C-alpha cells in the first residue's frame, strides 16, 4: 500500500518565509515534496477565503507563514493577519472544519531550518490525520450535481 | 486565449540534477494558453535571455514564466529581458524551481511533479497579469537628521559637505550628545570634548545645515524622496536673535538646585540654563517645569538682568513643517540607572554610580573638576569596585545582549582612577573581557599590567552599605569560585546600554521597525546595516544597538553616503505593486462603500478619501483612494475589503485565486 | 408611547425630518416596520416587546434615503447598530434623528453618537447563557460530528440572502457573492457554496456584529447562523477584551495589539 | 468575614505565641480565621530535600481540605508553610502529570485556585485599613523588620515588590508608631532548617543578622516566620558564641507588635514565651 | 555512569538545563554558606555541564548539596534564571538513593528523616518526638539539652503528639512513591 501523500498549500509572505524557504534551498536542507508555496507580499494580504477555497479544491492541509511579530516588512501586516487568524480559527473550529489542518507559523528570512521543520512536521501531522474526506465529500457534492 | 512562453532553466545541474526539466517543459507546453515551452541550461546567461527575447517576438508571447531560481534572485533580470523584447516586464513571472524544489528534494518523479505543479500555478497567475508601469517620484534634496550626538553631527556634516541641505533636530538645548559628557576616550585617552567641540562649531557655522535644538519630531508622513516632517520647536522662552549668550541670566537665576542632566545628577544647574559651557548653540533656555515664574508667577529676574531684553515668557511651542527627501535617525542610546539594580541597592546608595556618572567625575569640566570624589561626602575613594556587565548579558533583567562598550570604558575608568588616585586600589568584576578592536585588547592589558587594576572574574551578587563603606559580595570564579567580600568607598556599575525612552513611539511615527529592546532595526544585518525597512530612512549610531565612537562615526558616514546616493538622482522609480480602488459603471461608480476599514488598517496612511460626483458636480459618495506614492504594496487593505473593491496590482484577487485553483488541480 | 408619537409628529410637522422609521401593526399578531411621512399617520406607531426587527437596516437603504432625513425608533439593538454604522462612516450625526427607547419603553433623545455610547455602556452586549451552552455543546462534539452537524444545518439554505438583507451591517452595494472575477462563492445553493457563504458572512461580521439576531429572525429556514456570530463575539472578548462599538475607535479587526496572544502559531 | 487558616505545626508548638497573637489581633479586628479541618504538616524542608513527591502531596492535601471547606482565601502565617503551599500550587499548575498522581492519591480533583495569603498580605488586606482606629498604644521604638527568605523568594513566584529591600512590614510598623530602620540584612538567610542539625551555622548566619540590626540601633527585630524567630530567639546562645558578645535585642512577631499597639497585654501577645525577654517601651496615653 | 547521565536526569526531573549557565558565579557570590561548601554552586553547575562521570559522582558525594539552605538567593539573582535550589533538591534525592551521602551530612539527613517519620505517624510534626527520634538516629544524644527545658517551661513543647484523624488518607501519600530514579 502506498503511503497517503497529502496535498498541502503554503501561503507565505515574500519577505520572511518565502526568503526563509529560499534559505532552506540554499542550505540544501531536504524536506517533503507535498508542500507547494504561493507567494504573497505580506501575510496581511492573505484573504481567509483563499484558505477555504484551498480546502474546497482538495487541499488536505494548509500552511500560513510570515514574519515574526515586529519583523514585518510593512511593520504591521502580520499583526493584522494574526488577529484575522485568531478569529478565523475560532469560526472554523466551531464549524467543525479541522483547524489541525492549518499550521500557522512565523518563519523569518534567517530560519531556513525552521521552514524545513514546519513543512516536515505539518506533512507528518496531516498524514496522520489522513485525507480530508469530510470536506471532500461536501466539495464533491458540487461535482456530482454538476455531472447530473 | 493567452500566448504564454514557459522557459525552464537547468541552472547548470542545480535544477536538472533532481528535476526532469525536459519533462516539465513538455508538460508545460501542453497547458492551456501556453504557446511555447522549452528548457535550457542557463536561462540567465546571454544566450538564455536571447531565447526568451526571440520567442517573445517570434511567437508574439503575451506572458512569460521563467522557471528557474528564486524570483528574489533573478526576477529583475528576466523582467528586463522581457522589456527589451517589447513585452511589459510585469507580464513576466518566475517559478521557483531551484530553492523551493530541486535543492530541497531528492531526484524522483514526485520532485518533477512538484516542479510541474509550480510552473502550472505561475502560468495561471500570468494569465491574469496586467501590464504595469513603474512609478516615478521626484526627490526633495534635503535631509532631516534626528539627534545631535556624534552620529547626527557626523551625518549632517557629511551630507552638507556633499552639497545638500540638512536640517539637524536635537531635543536637548545643545548638540553634543553623550560624547560631550565623556572625560577621555578609549583606547587613546584623548579628551572627548577636545575632539568633539570643533565639530559642533562646524555644524553651527555650516551654510548647508539648519540647526534646530530643543526640538523634536512630531510627525513624519510621506515616502522616500518626499517626506513631510513636522518638527515641534519647544519654547525656549528666549528670543534667539536678541540673545548674545552673555550668560548673565544664568548666574542671577535664583533657582539653582536643579540636578544637572549633563552632569548626570552629580551637579546642579539653574532654571534658565545652558547645559554646559561649550554648548552649541551657546544660548540659554528656560526650563518651564522648574522656573519660579512659570511655577508661581513671580520672579522674572532673568528678564530684569538681560541686557538685550531677549527673555520671552510668552513664547509658545512652534510647529515647523519641512519637506525632506531622506531621514537619518541618530537618536542615540541611554544607560540603565542604578535604581534598576535591586541587588545593588535600588539606587539608594549615593556612592553606587553608573559609568556615565563616573565620566562626569573624571571629566575636567565635571562637578569635581576632574577629581575622583565620591558623591556622598566628597571624599576621595581609596578603594573602588567596577562591576562590568551590570544589566548586560542578563536575560533576567531583560537585556540578554552584550552592550559592547562597557569592557573598554571600564578599563578606561579603572585606568583613569589609578592615574588620579595613585595610592588607590581598584577592582573590576567581569565575566569576559571583550576588547575586539584596533588597539583595544592592548588597552585592557595595560590597565591590568601597568596600572595594576585588579581584575576578578565573577559577578557581584550584592552591594550594601555598612558604616560609610560599601560591602561588595563577589566571587572569583577562577579560584575555585571563592567568595570574595571587598569593603570599598565607591562602586561603579558599567550599566547596560539601552534604547532611549520614547524610541518605540518615534519608530512608530516613522514606520520603521525596532527590536525587542526598542533599538531600531536595520534592513539587513549584514548587507544593509544603515538602511531601515522604510526606504529613505537611515540609521546612524547607537539608536540601532550600543556602539562605540568609531563605529558610530563610521555608521553615520555610511548613512550620509546613502543619502548622497539617493540625492544624486532627480527621480526615483518604484515597483508598481500598489493597491487600487476599483471603478465601475454608474450608478455604483465604485463598489467601495466607504467604510474605511482599509484606511484604519493601512500601515502607511496611504488611503484617503475621494468624493465621487455626478455630472452636475453633486457628491454621490465618498470612497477610498490610494495614494500610490505612499502605498508600499503590502495588500493588508485588500484582505480587509468585504466588497472586494480594493485590489493589489501584481497580487490581484484574480491572480491569487487562480494560483490556488491551479496548484490544486492537476 | 404617547411621548413617542408626539415627538414623531412634531418632527414631521416642523419638517426636521421627512420620514419616521418605526414599528407598526403587522399581519396577525406581528409588528412590522413602517415609514411615516405625514404627521397624522404617526398614531400608527407602537412599541412593545414584539418589536424585535432591527430598523437600523433601513438607514443605509437607497429607497429610504430617497425619502429624506429620517427619524428612527431605536431600542437598544438599533442603537448599537447605529453606533457601529457611525464607526464605519456610514452615518453622520446630522443624517438622522434618533428616537431612543429605553428598556422601560421610555423615550430618550440622543444629540450625539457619543451620548448613545455613554447610554449603551450600561447595556453591554451579553451573550445569553442558553446560547453559550449551545455553543459549548457544539464545540464539545468531535470535529467530524461537528462538521456533519453544521453541514446538515446549512443544507436547507437556498441562498435567499434574507440574512444579508436583514443585517444592518451588510450594506455593501455589491456583495462579494455577486463578484465573478473571481467567483468567490458559487451562485447556486449547494453544500459547499452554502458553507462558504456562511463562513464569509460570519467573517465579514467579525468584530462588527452587534448581536441583534436580525439574520436569524429573517432566515426562512431557521438556520441558527446567529450562533456563528455569537461565538465570534465570545472570541473577540476572550482575545481582545470587552467589545462594543465606540466612536473614534477602530473595528477589532482593523486594529491590532503587538501583544495579541494566541497559542497556535509556531 | 471568615478566612481559611492554616496554622502549621510550628504554630501549635514552638511558635505558639505567633498563633496566639494572630488570633488575638484578628479578634480585635473582627476577622474570623477558620482552621482547615484535620490539616497536616506541609512537609517543610525535609520533604523537598528528600522526597519530591511528598513535598507536593503533603501541602496538596491541605489545599484539598481547604477547597472541600469552600475556602477562597487561605491565611498561612508560617512563612515556611506559606512557601511550600505556594510552590506546590505553582508546581501543580505547571505539571499536569504530577497533578494527576497527586489527585489520585488524594482521591480529590484539585481546582488549585485558592488564594494563599502570607501574614503580611493578610495584614495589608484585612488589618491595615483599620489600623489607624485600632492602634491604642503606639510603639515608640526603632525596630528592624526582618523578612527572611521564604516570604520574598523565589522572586519569580512570590512576586514581592522590592524583593531585595522589601518595605511592606516596615510600612505596617510605621503605622504602629515605630520607626523601621533601613538595613541591608532584611532578606539574608538565618540558617533556616539547620536549627537542630547544624546549630553552629545558624549561629553564624543569624549572628550576622542580629549584629547588623543592633549596630544600626534596632531595639527589636520584627519577624513573620517561626523559623526565623526560633533561630534568632531560641538560638541566641549559638549567636552569642559566634559574635563573642552578649546581645539582648528581643525578636517579636509582627502580630505581637500589632497586639501590643492595639493595647493587648504582653501575655495576650504571648511575649512570656520568648527566650530573649521582651521589654518594649510603649507610649502610654 | 555514562557521560552526561546526571545532567540529563537533572533536566528531566527539574526542567533545568544546566547548559544555560555561563559561569558568572553570581550564585556563589550571594550564597550564605558558600564559604563552608566543598564545591560551590557555580562549580556544581560547571561539573554538571562537563558531564564527566567522576565529577558527577563527586557531586553526589559532596557536602555542599546538603549545606544548601534553599534560601533561593541564587535563583532570585541568577541572570539566566536557573532554578539551582531545585537542582540541589534533585541531587540530594539522588545522593540519598545511591547511598552517597557525605558523612558530615548524615545528621542533616537523619534530622529530615526523623521529621518525615514524625509526619508519617502523626500527620503533624511532633517536636519532642522529632528531637528524640533524631537523637537516636544521629547519635547526638546530648545536643540541645539546654534549650528543651526552656521550651517546656514556655509551653512550647507538647509531650504527646497531636494526631490528625484521616491517617489512612495520609498514609496513601507515603505509599507507592514514584521516586526520582535514574532513567
Burial of A142 (0-12, 13-18, 19+ CB in 10 A): middle
Of E36, E72, E89, the CB nearest to D52: E89
Q: C-side interface with B, Cβ within 8 Å?
A: 88-90, 171-176, 179, 181-182, 184, 204, 250-251, 253-255
| Of E109, E117, E3, the residue nearest E51 (C-alpha) | E3
Taking a contact as any Cβ pair under 8 Å apart, which residues of chain C between 167 and 196 contact chain A? 184, 186, 188, 190-193, 195-196
Is B349 among the domain residues? yes
CA–CA dist B411, B401 (Å, integer): 20
Say yes or no for a CB contact (<8 Å) between D153 and E108. no
Would residue B418 count as lying in a domain? yes
Chains E and D touch (3+ CB pairs under 8 A): yes
CB pair distance less than 8 Å for E73 and D54: no
User: What mean pLDDT comes out for the span D131-145?
Assistant: 92
Q: Does D163 touch chain B (CB under 8 A)?
A: yes
DSSP D228-241: HHIIIIITHHHHHH
Res B133 pLDDT > 70: yes
| CA B229 from centroid of its chain's CA atoms | 17
Confidence (pLDDT) at E144: 65
Cis peptide before B166 (omega within 30 of 0): no
Domain that holds residue C158: 129-254
Taking residues B574-596, what's their average pLDDT? 90
CA distance C155 to C150: 8
What is the DSSP track for C26-62? -STT-EEEEEE-SGGGGGG---STT--S-GGGGGG-H
Residue B666 lies in a domain: no
Candidate from B109-113, B301-305, C57-61, D196-200 with smallest mean pLDDT: D196-200
C-beta atoms of B465 and D212 within 8 A: no
CA distance B4 to chain C (A): 21
Check whether E178 has a pLDDT greater than 70. Answer: no
Q: Which of B600, B622, B653 sits opposite C255 (nearest CB)?
A: B600
Residue entry with cell 500557522: A104
Residue B104's Cα: distance from chain center in Å?
Answer: 35
In this prediction, residue B560 carries a pLDDT of 98
Q: Residue E183 — pLDDT band, cuts 50, 70, 90?
A: very low
Distance from CA of C114 to the nearest CA of A (A): 27
Give residue E179's pLDDT. Answer: 47
Do E92 and E114 fall into the same domain? no
C261 in a domain, yes or no?
A: no
Closest CA to E115 of B28, D48, B559, C261: D48
The total number of structural domains that make up chain A: 1
Tell me if A143 is assigned to some domain.
yes
Which of C102, C120, C138 is the C-terminal boundary of a domain? C120
Q: Is the CB of residue B332 less than 8 Å from the CB of residue B179? A: no
Chain C residues lying within 8 Å of A105, measured CB to CB: 265-266
User: Which one of E101, E133, E160 terminates a domain?
Assistant: E101
In a domain, C262, yes or no: no
- The reply to whether B423 and B494 lie within a common domain is yes
Closest CA to D226 of D142, D144, D150: D150
CA C242 to chain centre: 18
Could you tell me if C143 and C246 lie in one domain?
yes
Distance CA E7, CA B452 (A): 40
| Mean pLDDT calculated for residue range B532-561 | 95
All three cell numbers of B62, joined, read: 503575451
**Shared-domain flag, residues B367 and B486:** yes
Of C182, C204, C255, the CB nearest to B654: C182
Residue C169 phi, psi dihedral angles, 5° rounding: -95, 0
Same domain for D95 and D144, yes or no, is: no
Q: Which of E80, E68, E10 is nearest to E41 (CA)?
A: E68
Same domain, C77 and C162: no
Residues C116 and C135 in one domain: no
Nearest to A96 among C150, C203, C262 (CB): C150
CB contact under 8 A, E72 and D191: no
B644 and B558 together in one domain: no
Can you tell me which residue has the cell 583613569?
B416
Helix, strand, or coil here: A107? coil
Range of the domain at D192: 136-273
Do B180 and B225 meet the contact criterion of CB atoms below 8 Å apart? no
Chain E residue numbers with beta carbons less than 8 Å from the beta carbon of B394 are 79
Strands D220-223 and D179-180, how do they pair? unpaired
The mean predicted confidence, pLDDT, of chain B is: 95
Q: Which three cell numbers stand for residue A78?
A: 502580520
C-alpha cell at D110: 484539585
Average pLDDT over residues C147-159: 94
Q: Residue D152 CA to chain centroid, in angstroms?
A: 11
CA distance E4 to chain D (A): 22
Residue C265 belongs to some domain of the structure: no
Mean pLDDT of D102-107: 90
Which 3-state string (H, E, C) describes E131-156?
HHHHHHHHCCCCCCCCHHHHHHHCCC
Q: Is residue E183 part of a domain?
A: no
Q: Does B651 contact A41 at a Cβ distance shorter than 8 Å?
A: yes
Q: How many helices and strands in chain B, by DSSP H and E?
A: 17, 34
Q: Write down the pLDDT at residue D283.
A: 43
Which single residue is written with the C-alpha cell 511655577? Answer: B295
Domain count, chain B: 5
Domain that holds residue B284: 237-315
Strand order, beta sheet including B226-233: B215-223, B226-233, B318-324
Q: Which residues of D touch E169 (CB under 8 A)?
A: 61, 106-107
Q: Domain containing A28 — which CATH number?
A: 3.40.50
Last residue of a domain, one of C120, C154, C183: C120
Contacts A63 to B, Cβ<8 Å: none
Read off the DSSP letter of residue B272: E
* Residue C150 pLDDT greater than 70, yes or no: yes
Helices assigned H by DSSP within chain D: 16-28, 44-50, 52-68, 79-94, 96-106, 119-122, 128-134, 155-158, 168-175, 194-197, 199-215, 226-229, 236-243, 254-261
Q: Are B142 and B164 spatial neighbours (Cβ–Cβ below 8 Å)?
A: yes
Q: Is the pLDDT of residue A148 over 60?
A: no
pLDDT digits (tens, 9 = 90+) for C200-223: 999 999 999 999 999 999 999 999
- CATH number of the domain encompassing residue D268: 3.40.50.11810
Euclidean distance between CA atoms B425 and B407, whole angstroms: 19
Look at C254 and B640 and tell me if their CB atoms are within 8 Å. yes
Instruction: Please indicate, yes or no, if residue A3 is contained in any of the structural domains.
Output: no
CB-based contact E30 B473, cutoff 8 Å? yes
Residues B351 and B490 placed together within one structural domain of the fold:
yes
Cell of B624: 477610498
A61/chain C closest Cα distance in angstroms: 15
C103 touches chain A (CB under 8 A): no
Domain end (from D75, D92, D118): D118
Residue B518 gets the label, from left (phi > 0), alpha (psi -120 to 50) or beta, of left
Which long-range contacts (C-beta less than 8 Å, at least 24 apart) are formed by E51-59? E51/E3, E51/E4, E51/E5, E51/E6, E51/E7, E52/E3, E53/E1, E53/E2, E53/E3, E53/E5, E56/E1, E56/E5, E56/E6, E56/E7, E57/E1, E57/E100, E59/E6, E59/E91
**Chain E nearest CA to D102, separation (Å):** 8
User: Which segments of B291-354 does DSSP mark as H helices, in order?
Assistant: 292-296, 301-305
Q: Does residue B152 carry a pLDDT above 90? A: yes
Percent of chain B at pLDDT above 90? 89
| Centroid of chain to Cα D46 | 18
Residue labelled with grid coordinates 490610494: B626
Identify the closest residue of chain C to B609 by CA–CA distance. Answer: C89
Residue contact E43–B481, C-beta within 8 A: yes
Per-residue pLDDT tens for B354-394? 999 999 999 999 999 999 999 999 999 999 999 999 999 99
Same domain, yes or no: B444 and B562: no
Task: Clarify whether residues B465 and B595 are in a common domain.
Answer: no
Q: What is the mean pLDDT of residues B49-70?
A: 96
Cross-strand pairs, B226: B223
pLDDT of residue A5 exceeding 90: yes
D162 and B CB contact within 8 Å: yes
- Rounded mean pLDDT of chain E? 86
pLDDT in tens, C180-204: 889 999 888 889 999 999 999 999 9
For residues C140 and C105, membership in a common domain is answered with no
pLDDT at D259 over 80: yes
Burial code of C217-249, b = ≥16 C-beta within 10 A, e = fewer?
ebbeeebbbbbbbbbbbbbbbebbeebbbbeee
Average pLDDT over residues E30-34: 96
| Range(s) of the domain holding residue A94 | 8-147
- Is the pLDDT at C33 greater than 90? The verdict is yes
Give the chain E residue whose CA is nearest to the CA of B457.
Answer: E24
For residue B159, CA distances in Å to B155, B176, B323 come to: 6, 18, 16
CA distance B585 to chain C (A): 12
- Taking only the tens place, the pLDDT of each residue in B201-253 is 999 999 999 999 999 999 998 888 999 999 999 999 999 999 999 999 999 99
Question: Are 3 or more Cβ–Cβ pairs between C and D shorter than 8 Å?
Answer: no
Distance CA D127, CA D261 (A): 13
All residues of chain A having their beta carbon less than 8 Å from the beta carbon of residue C196 are 49, 52-53, 56
pLDDT at D285 > cutoff 50: no
How many Cα neighbours within 13 Å face the side chain of B37?
19
Nearest residue, CB atoms, A9 vs list B100, B512, B664:
B664
Shortest CA gap A29–chain B (Å): 6
User: How many C-beta atoms surround the C-beta of residue B519 within 10 A?
Assistant: 22
User: Is residue A1 scored above 80 in pLDDT?
Assistant: no
Residue after which a domain boundary falls, among C96, C120, C144 = C120
d(CA B491, CA B436): 25
> Is the pLDDT at D180 greater than 60, yes or no?
yes
E166 touches chain D (CB under 8 A): yes
Chains that touch B (3 or more CB pairs under 8 A): A, C, D, E
Domain range enclosing E80: 5-101
Question: D145 and D185 in contact (C-beta within 8 Å)?
Answer: no
How many domains, in total, are found in chain E? 2
Amino acid at each position: 500500500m502506498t503511503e497517503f501523500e497529502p496535498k498541502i498549500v503554503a501561503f507565505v509572505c515574500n519577505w520572511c518565509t518565502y526568503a526563509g524557504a529560499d534559505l532552506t534551498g540554499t542550505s540544501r536542507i531536504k524536506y517533503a515534496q507535498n508542500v507547494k508555496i504561493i507567494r504573497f507580499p505580506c501575510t496581511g494580504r492573505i484573504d481567509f477565503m483563499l484558505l477555504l477555497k484551498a480546502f474546497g479544491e482538495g487541499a488536505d492541509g494548509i500552511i500560513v507563514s510570515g514574519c515574526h511579530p515586529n519583523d514585518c516588512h510593512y511593520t504591521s501586516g502580520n499583526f493584522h493577519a494574526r488577529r484575522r487568524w485568531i478569529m478565523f480559527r475560532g469560526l472554523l473550529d466551531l464549524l467543525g472544519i479541522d483547524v489541525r489542518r492549518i499550521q500557522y507559523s512565523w518563519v523569518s528570512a534567517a530560519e531556513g531550518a525552521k521552514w524545513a521543520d514546519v513543512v516536515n512536521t505539518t506533512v507528518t501531522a496531516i498524514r496522520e490525520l489522513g485525507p480530508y474526506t469530510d470536506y471532500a465529500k461536501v466539495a464533491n457534492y458540487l461535482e456530482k450535481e454538476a455531472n447530473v | 486565449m493567452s500566448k504564454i512562453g514557459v522557459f525552464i532553466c537547468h541552472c547548470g545541474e542545480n535544477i536538472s540534477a533532481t528535476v526532469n526539466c525536459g519533462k516539465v517543459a513538455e508538460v508545460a507546453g501542453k497547458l492551456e494558453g501556453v504557446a511555447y515551452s522549452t528548457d535550457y541550461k542557463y536561462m540567465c546567461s546571454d544566450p538564455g535571455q536571447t531565447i526568451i527575447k526571440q520567442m517573445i517576438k517570434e511567437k508574439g508571447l503575451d506572458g512569460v514564466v521563467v522557471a528557474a531560481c528564486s524570483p528574489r534572485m533573478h526576477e529583475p533580470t528576466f523582467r528586463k529581458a522581457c522589456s527589451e523584447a517589447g513585452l511589459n516586464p510585469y507580464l513576466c513571472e518566475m517559478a521557483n524551481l531551484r530553492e523551493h524544489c530541486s535543492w530541497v528534494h531528492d531526484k524522483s518523479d514526485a520532485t518533477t511533479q512538484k516542479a510541474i505543479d509550480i510552473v502550472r500555478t505561475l502560468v495561471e497567475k500570468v494569465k491574469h497579469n496586467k501590464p504595469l508601469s513603474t512609478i516615478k517620484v521626484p526627490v526633495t534634496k534635503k535631509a532631516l537628521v534626528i539627534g545631535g550626538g556624534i552620529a547626527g553631527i557626523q551625518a549632517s556634516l557629511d551630507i552638507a559637505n556633499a552639497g545638500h541641505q540638512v536640517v539637524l533636530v536635537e531635543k536637548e538645548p545643545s548638540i553634543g550628545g553623550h560624547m560631550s559628557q565623556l572625560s577621555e576616550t578609549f583606547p587613546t585617552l584623548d579628551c572627548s570634548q577636545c575632539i568633539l567641540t570643533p565639530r559642533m562649531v562646524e555644524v553651527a557655522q555650516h551654510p548647508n545645515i539648519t540647526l534646530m535644538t530643543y526640538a523634536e519630531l512630531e510627525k513624519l508622513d510621506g515616502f522616500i524622496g518626499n517626506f513631510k516632517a513636522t518638527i515641534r520647536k519647544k519654547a525656549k522662552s528666549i528670543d534667539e536673535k536678541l540673545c548674545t549668550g552673555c550668560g548673565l541670566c544664568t548666574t542671577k537665576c535664583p533657582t539653582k538646585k536643579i540636578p544637572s542632566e549633563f552632569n548626570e545628577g552629580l551637579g546642579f544647574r539653574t532654571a534658565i540654563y545652558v547645559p554646559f559651557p561649550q554648548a552649541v548653540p551657546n544660548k540659554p533656555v528656560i526650563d518651564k517645569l522648574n522656573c519660579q515664574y512659570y511655577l508661581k508667577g513671580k520672579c522674572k529676574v532673568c528678564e530684569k538682568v538681560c541686557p538685550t531684553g531677549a527673555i520671552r515668557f510668552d513664547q509658545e511651542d512652534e510647529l515647523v513643517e519641512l519637506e525632506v527627501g531622506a531621514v537619518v535617525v541618530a537618536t542615540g542610546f541611554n544607560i540603565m540607572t542604578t535604581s534598576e539594580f535591586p541587588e545593588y541597592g535600588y539606587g539608594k546608595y549615593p556612592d553606587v554610580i553608573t559609568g556615565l556618572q563616573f565620566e562626569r567625575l573624571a571629566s575636567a569640566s565635571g562637578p569635581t573638576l576632574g577629581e575622583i570624589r565620591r558623591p556622598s561626602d566628597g571624599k576621595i575613594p581609596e578603594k573602588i569596585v567596577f562591576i562590568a556587565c551590570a544589566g548586560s548579558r542578563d536575560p533576567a533583567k531583560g537585556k540578554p545582549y552584550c552592550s559592547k562598550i562597557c569592557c573598554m570604558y571600564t578599563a578606561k575608568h579603572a585606568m583613569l582612577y589609578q592615574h588620579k588616585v595613585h595610592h588607590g586600589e581598584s577592582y573590576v568584576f567581569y565575566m569576559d573581557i571583550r576588547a575586539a578592536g584596533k588597539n583595544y585588547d592592548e588597552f585592557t592589558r595595560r590597565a591590568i599590567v601597568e596600572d595594576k587594576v585588579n581584575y576578578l572574574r565573577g559577578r557581584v551578587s550584592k552591594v550594601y552599605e555598612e558604616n560609610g563603606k560599601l560591602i561588595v559580595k563577589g566571587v572569583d570564579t577562577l579560584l575555585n569560585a571563592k567568595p570574595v567580600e571587598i569593603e570599598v568607598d565607591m562602586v561603579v556599575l558599567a550599566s547596560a546600554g539601552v534604547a532611549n525612552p520614547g524610541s518605540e513611539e518615534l519608530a512608530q511615527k516613522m514606520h520603521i521597525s525596532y527590536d525587542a529592546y526598542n533599538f531600531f532595526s536595520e534592513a539587513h544585518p549584514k548587507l544593509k546595516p544603515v538602511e531601515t525597512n522604510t526606504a529613505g530612512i537611515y540609521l546612524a549610531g547607537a539608536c540601532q544597538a550600543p556602539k562605540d565612537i568609531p563605529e558610530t562615526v563610521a555608521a553615520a558616514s555610511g548613512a550620509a553616503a546613502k543619502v548622497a546616493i539617493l540625492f544624486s538622482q532627480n527621480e526615483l522609480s518604484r515597483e508598481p505593486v500598489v493597491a487600487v480602488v476599483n471603478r465601475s459603471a454608474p450608478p455604483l461608480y465604485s463598489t467601495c462603500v466607504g467604510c474605511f476599514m482599509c484606511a484604519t488598517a493601512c500601515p502607511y496612511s496611504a488611503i484617503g478619501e475621494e468624493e465621487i460626483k455626478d455630472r452636475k458636480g453633486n457628491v454621490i459618495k465618498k470612497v477610498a483612494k490610494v495614494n500610490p506614492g505612499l502605498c508600499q504594496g503590502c495588500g493588508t487593505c485588500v484582505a480587509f475589503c468585504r466588497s472586494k473593491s480594493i485590489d493589489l496590482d501584481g497580487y490581484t484577487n484574480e491572480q491569487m485565486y487562480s494560483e490556488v485553483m491551479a496548484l490544486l488541480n492537476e | 408611547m404617547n411621548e413617542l408619537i408626539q415627538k414623531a409628529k412634531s418632527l414631521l410637522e416642523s419638517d426636521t425630518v421627512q420620514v419616521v422609521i418605526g414599528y407598526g401593526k403587522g399581519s396577525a399578531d406581528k409588528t412590522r416596520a413602517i415609514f411615516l411621512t405625514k404627521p397624522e399617520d404617526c398614531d400608527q406607531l407602537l412599541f412593545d416587546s414584539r418589536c424585535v426587527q432591527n430598523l437600523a437596516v433601513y438607514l443605509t437603504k437607497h429607497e429610504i434615503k430617497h425619502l429624506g432625513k429620517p427619524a428612527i425608533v431605536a431600542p437598544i439593538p438599533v442603537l448599537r447598530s447605529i453606533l457601529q454604522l457611525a464607526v464605519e462612516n456610514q452615518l453622520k450625526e446630522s443624517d438622522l434623528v434618533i428616537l431612543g427607547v429605553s428598556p422601560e419603553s421610555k423615550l430618550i433623545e440622543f444629540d450625539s453618537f457619543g451620548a448613545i455610547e455613554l447610554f449603551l455602556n450600561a447595556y453591554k452586549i451579553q451573550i445569553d447563557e442558553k446560547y453559550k451552552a449551545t455553543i459549548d455543546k457544539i464545540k464539545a462534539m468531535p470535529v467530524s460530528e461537528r462538521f456533519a452537524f453544521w453541514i446538515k444545518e446549512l443544507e436547507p439554505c437556498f441562498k435567499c440572502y434574507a440574512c444579508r438583507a436583514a443585517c444592518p451591517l451588510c450594506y455593501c452595494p455589491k456583495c462579494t457573492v455577486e463578484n465573478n472575477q473571481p467567483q468567490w462563492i458559487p451562485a447556486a445553493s449547494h453544500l459547499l457554496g452554502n458553507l462558504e457563504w456562511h463562513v464569509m458572512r460570519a467573517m465579514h461580521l467579525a468584530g462588527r456584529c452587534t448581536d441583534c439576531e436580525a439574520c436569524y429572525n429573517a432566515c426562512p429556514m431557521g438556520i441558527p447562523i446567529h450562533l456563528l456570530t455569537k461565538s465570534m463575539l465570545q472570541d473577540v472578548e476572550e482575545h481582545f477584551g470587552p467589545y462594543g462599538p465606540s466612536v473614534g475607535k477602530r473595528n477589532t479587526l482593523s486594529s491590532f495589539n503587538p501583544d495579541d496572544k494566541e497559542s497556535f502559531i509556531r | 468575614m471568615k478566612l481559611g487558616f492554616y496554622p502549621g505545626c510550628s504554630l501549635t508548638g514552638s511558635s505558639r505565641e505567633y498563633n496566639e497573637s494572630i488570633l488575638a489581633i484578628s479578634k480585635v479586628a473582627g476577622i474570623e480565621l477558620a482552621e482547615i479541618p484535620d490539616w497536616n504538616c506541609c512537609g517543610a524542608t525535609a520533604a523537598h530535600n528528600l522526597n519530591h513527591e511528598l513535598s507536593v502531596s503533603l501541602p496538596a492535601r491541605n489545599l484539598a481540605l481547604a477547597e472541600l471547606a469552600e475556602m477562597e482565601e487561605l491565611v498561612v502565617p508560617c512563612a515556611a508553610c506559606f512557601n511550600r503551599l505556594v510552590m506546590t500550587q505553582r508546581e501543580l499548575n505547571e505539571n499536569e502529570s504530577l497533578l494527576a498522581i497527586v489527585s489520585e492519591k488524594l482521591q480529590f480533583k484539585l481546582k488549585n485556585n485558592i488564594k494563599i495569603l502570607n501574614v503580611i498580605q493578610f495584614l495589608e488586606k484585612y488589618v491595615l485599613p483599620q489600623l489607624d482606629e485600632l492602634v491604642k498604644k503606639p510603639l515608640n521604638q526603632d525596630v528592624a523588620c526582618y523578612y527572611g527568605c521564604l516570604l520574598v523568594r523565589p522572586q519569580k513566584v512570590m512576586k514581592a515588590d522590592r524583593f531585595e529591600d522589601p518595605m511592606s512590614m516596615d510600612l505596617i510598623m510605621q503605622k504602629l508608631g515605630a520607626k523601621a530602620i533601613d538595613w541591608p540584612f532584611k532578606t539574608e538567610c538565618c540558617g533556616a532548617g539547620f536549627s537542630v542539625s547544624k546549630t553552629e551555622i545558624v549561629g553564624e548566619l543569624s549572628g550576622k543578622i542580629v549584629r547588623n540590626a543592633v549596630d544600626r540601633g534596632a531595639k527589636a527585630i520584627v519577624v513573620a516566620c517561626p523559623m526565623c524567630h526560633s533561630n534568632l530567639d531560641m538560638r541566641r546562645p549559638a549567636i552569642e558564641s559566634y559574635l563573642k558578645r552578649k546581645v539582648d535585642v528581643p525578636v517579636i512577631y509582627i502580630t505581637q507588635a500589632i497586639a501590643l499597639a492595639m493595647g493587648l497585654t504582653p501575655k495576650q501577645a504571648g511575649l512570656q514565651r520568648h527566650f530573649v525577654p521582651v521589654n518594649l517601651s510603649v507610649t502610654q496615653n | 555512569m555514562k557521560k552526561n547521565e546526571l545532567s540529563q536526569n537533572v533536566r528531566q526531573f527539574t526542567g533545568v538545563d544546566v547548559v544555560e549557565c555561563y559561569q558568572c558565579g553570581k550564585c556563589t557570590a550571594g550564597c550564605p554558606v558558600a564559604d563552608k561548601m566543598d564545591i560551590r554552586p557555580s562549580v556544581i553547575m560547571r561539573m554538571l555541564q562537563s558531564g564527566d562521570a567522576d565529577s558527577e559522582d563527586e557531586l553526589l558525594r559532596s557536602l555542599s548539596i546538603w549545606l544548601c539552605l534553599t534560601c533561593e538567593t541564587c535563583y532570585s539573582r541568577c541572570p539566566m534564571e536557573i532554578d539551582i535550589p531545585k537542582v540541589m533538591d534533585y541531587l540530594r534525592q539522588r545522593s540519598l538513593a545511591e547511598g552517597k551521602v557525605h558523612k558530615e551530612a548524615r545528621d542533616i539527613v537523619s534530622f529530615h528523616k526523623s521529621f518525615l517519620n514524625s509526619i508519617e505517624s502523626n500527620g503533624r510534626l511532633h517536636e519532642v518526638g522529632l528531637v528524640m527520634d533524631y537523637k537516636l538516629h544521629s547519635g547526638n544524644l546530648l545536643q540541645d539539652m539546654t534549650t528543651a527545658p526552656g521550651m517546656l517551661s514556655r509551653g512550647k513543647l507538647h509531650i504527646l503528639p497531636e494526631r490528625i484523624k484521616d491517617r489512612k488518607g495520609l498514609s496513601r501519600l507515603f505509599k507507592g512513591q514514584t521516586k526520582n530514579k535514574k532513567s
